[in-house]
Amino acid sequence: MITKTKKVHNFSAGPGILPEEVLTQAANACINFDNLDLSLLEISHRSKNYEKVIDESHALVKELLGLNDNYKVMFLGGGASLQFAMVPYNLLRTEGTAGYINTGVWASKAIKEAKMIGNTKVIASSEDKKFTYIPKNYEIPNDLDYLHITSNNTIYGTQMKSFPKTSVPLVCDMSSDIFSRHVNGNDFALIYAGAQKNMGPAGATMVAVDETLLGKTGRKMLSMLDYQVHIKGGSMYNTPPVFPIYVSMLTLKWLKNNGGIAWIEKINQQKADLLYNEIDRNSLFVGTTAKEDRSNMNVTFVMPKPELESEFDKLWKEADISGLRGHRDVGGYRASLYNALPLESVKVLVEVMQAFEKKFA
Ligand SMILES: *Cc1c(COP(=O)(O)O)cnc(C)c1O
């Protein structure tokens, strides 16, 4: 058995950090799953051992999001990016209009796909200031088929602290902050999230949808793009991404067994407060987003003296910190504080920032 030789503080934006015990369980299941003397990777997805995994992963999602019985959960392939197309394909009527809030690259990609499928209106956008804030006080037409929002903008480090109040069905891309804080799942018509930020490994995407909204578009549906087909098949219309679903299930179990959303939300707030306080205090760093919209998941910051970047890079690498580079569209630094990242790792980063200031300010 291969083991890690040291503790690395993993701030990767995605695929992101997973709990140590989940990785161990996942590794074991690759060798001997459920004492079958078979690997999880070499058994039928229709075996009763695997059916338990699918059922439990669906149930955990419903429980953690507090979803009523009219919601159905699916785990699909194709990433969150396929949902950019599947959402309008399944919810936008041929005569209807979809609304979008444009808060960054991911939202823009979702808008691009929706426009291919039907009438699409951008209701509000923060593109004028390079997506450094969340638009507010916009009017939502009440005849939209749905309004699409992105709860957390992974690249820019902004997060919606409250959601639009509207009678229009709300669709939310929660890829990078799902299960990080309390939300009332029933306020949304559809929630989707790629697993690899805060839920599991790459390869599976979770979709939870109010089933009563489906089957009303007036278009002929391709089977693999039809939510109703996947719901009917119990996420097994075709062979599902068996391993990513299994690891997602382990991660959700880890979350539940440790105290659930209430437990993790508190820790996530402590981590974010610790780091933002240091960014605001430290003369060598500045945050890149509007303070009221700061993300608790992806903390973005830059240096007023970029010529010192290589010195800072040396220090954090020496401290066994990994994954701190900012997205190429923003530059600077991005510390992703996903659920599995311990408070301890943020403390180490803050100590490095303080040592850096002592040396260079
Ligand atoms: C990463 C990300 C995506 C894209 O996910 P893929 O699984 O790579 O398609 C979409 N939306 C948000 C908010 C993301 O963070």
Per-residue pLDDT, averaged over 261-272, amounts to 98
Quote the CA–CA distance of 246 and 253 in Å, as a whole number.
11
Mutate to test the pocket of ligand 1, among 87, 102, 154 (most ligand atoms within 8 A of CB): 154
Q: Give me the percent of the chain exceeding a pLDDT of 70.
A: 100
Per-residue pLDDT, averaged over 128-136, amounts to 98
Q: What is the pLDDT of residue 219?
A: 96
Q: Report CA(302)–ligand 1 centroid distance (Å).
A: 23
The 3 state secondary structure assigned to 113-131 is HHHHHCEEEEEEECHHHCC
Residue 3: pLDDT band by 50, 70, 90 thresholds?
confident
Quote the CA–CA distance of 81 and 196 in Å, as a whole number.
13
Residues 6+ apart with CB under 8 A from 113: 84, 85, 88
Q: What is the pLDDT of residue 8?
A: 97
Which protein residue's CA is at the shortest distance from atom 7 of ligand 1? 79
Q: Give me the percent of the chain exceeding a pLDDT of 90.
A: 97
Residue 175: pLDDT band by 50, 70, 90 thresholds?
very high
Annotated catalytic sites, by residue? 106, 173, 197
Q: What is the mean pLDDT of the chain?
A: 97
Q: What is the pLDDT of residue 339?
A: 98
User: Is the pLDDT confidence value at 1 over 80?
Assistant: no
Residue 2: pLDDT band by 50, 70, 90 thresholds?
confident
Quote the CA–CA distance of 109 and 338 in Å, as a whole number.
23
Per-residue pLDDT, averaged over 256-272, amounts to 98
Quote the CA–CA distance of 316 and 310 in Å, as a whole number.
10
Residue 230: pLDDT band by 50, 70, 90 thresholds?
very high
User: Is the pLDDT confidence value at 240 over 80?
Assistant: yes
Q: Report CA(156)–ligand 1 centroid distance (Å).
A: 13
E-assigned strands of 21-156?
Answer: 71-76, 97-102, 119-125, 146-150, 152-153
Per-residue pLDDT, averaged over 239-247, amounts to 98
Mutate to test the pocket of ligand 1, among 75, 81, 171 (most ligand atoms within 8 A of CB): 81
Q: What are 134-143's pLDDT values in tens digits?
A: 999 999 999 9
Return the ∠ at Cα 190 (arms to 188 and 195), rounded to 5°. 115
Is 194 close to ligand 1, i.e. is its CB under 6 Å away? Answer: yes
Is 173 close to ligand 1, i.e. is its CB under 6 Å away? Answer: yes
E-assigned strands of the chain?
Answer: 9-10, 71-76, 97-102, 119-125, 146-150, 152-153, 158-159, 170-173, 190-194, 205-210, 286-287, 298-302, 321-322, 333-336
Is 157 close to ligand 1, i.e. is its CB under 6 Å away? Answer: no
CA 122, 124, 130, 132 torsion: positive or negative?
negative
Q: Report CA(106)–ligand 1 centroid distance (Å).
A: 7
Which protein residue's CA is at the shortest distance from atom 3 of ligand 1? 80
* Residue 333: φ, ψ to 5°: -130, 155
Q: What is the CA radius of gyration of the chain?
A: 21
Q: What is the pLDDT of residue 329?
A: 86
Q: What is the pLDDT of residue 4?
A: 85
- List the domains of the chain with CATH numbers: 23-257 (3.40.640.10), 260-360 (3.90.1150.10)
Q: What are 21-35's pLDDT values in tens digits?
A: 999 999 999 999 999
Q: Report CA(307)–ligand 1 centroid distance (Å).
A: 32
Which protein residue's CA is at the shortest distance from atom 12 of ligand 1? 175
Q: What are 276-330's pLDDT values in tens digits?
A: 999 999 999 999 999 999 999 999 999 999 999 999 999 999 999 999 999 988 8
CA 315, 299, 337, 83 torsion: positive or negative?
negative
Angle, helices 309-318 vs 343-360, to 10°: value is 140
Is 200 close to ligand 1, i.e. is its CB under 6 Å away? Answer: no
Q: Report CA(82)–ligand 1 centroid distance (Å).
A: 10
Q: What is the arrangement of strands in the sheet containing 333-336, beginning at the earlier edge strand?
A: 286-287, 298-302, 333-336
Q: Report CA(79)–ligand 1 centroid distance (Å).
A: 7
Q: What is the pLDDT of residue 289?
A: 98
Mutate to test the pocket of ligand 1, among 100, 103, 106, 180 (most ligand atoms within 8 A of CB): 106
